[in-house]
Amino acid sequence: MAAKTVTFAELKAHNNKDSLYILLHEKVYDVTKFIDEHPGGDEVILAEASRDATEAFEDVGHSDEARALLKDMLVGDFEKTDELKTKGPSSTSSSHGSAVNTAVEQGSNLMYFVPLGVLGAYFAWRYYSSGSI
């Protein structure tokens, strides 16, 4: 699969439209031929050159088809150095996933209790303002 190890210097050297490498999930991809076909435009990819683009790639929510295209563009594994800290696939996905689950759970509680509170306040106001007491 990925027999070559790409250094940070190599990644930095391939940072323009004529030769562009992207780092995703600790693997390096040559996206030079794809840059003009990218639905988001070439500026989006060029902005992530010479750094770890994993977070930007995942935030967009790329399709399975987009992920399948990466297999043909694989150059090799990235050599981890102190010059560029990568976001590993396990730490990024698990911490991000638990944060999303917590936010959804909290949001679900709010979406349930706030309308009930508003409805209860409305009926209390109607009851006390109608002079029923």
- Cβ neighbours for 53, distance < 8 A, ≥ 6 positions apart: 22, 23, 24
From residue 130, give the alpha-carbon distance in Å to each of 104, 124, 125, 127, 133.
Answer: 39, 10, 8, 6, 8
**Nearest CA to 37 among 8, 76, 72, 86?**
72
pLDDT of residue 115: 87
Whether 119 has a pLDDT exceeding 90, the answer reads: yes
Residue in the structure block whose two tokens are 């940070």: 8
Which residue would you say has higher pLDDT here, 98 or 63? 63
pLDDT of residue 105: 58
The single-letter DSSP state of residue 77 is: E
Q: Per-residue pLDDT averaged across 61-75, rounded?
A: 85
pLDDT of residue 121: 95
Mean pLDDT of all residues belonging to the chain:
78
- pTM for the whole structure: 0.59
Residues 81-96: pLDDT tens digits? Answer: 756 655 554 444 445 5
pLDDT band at 106 (very low <50, low <70, confident <90, very high): low
Which residue would you say has higher pLDDT here, 65 or 90? 65
Which residue would you say has higher pLDDT here, 94 or 73? 73
pLDDT of residue 123: 93
Whether 40 has a pLDDT exceeding 90, the answer reads: no
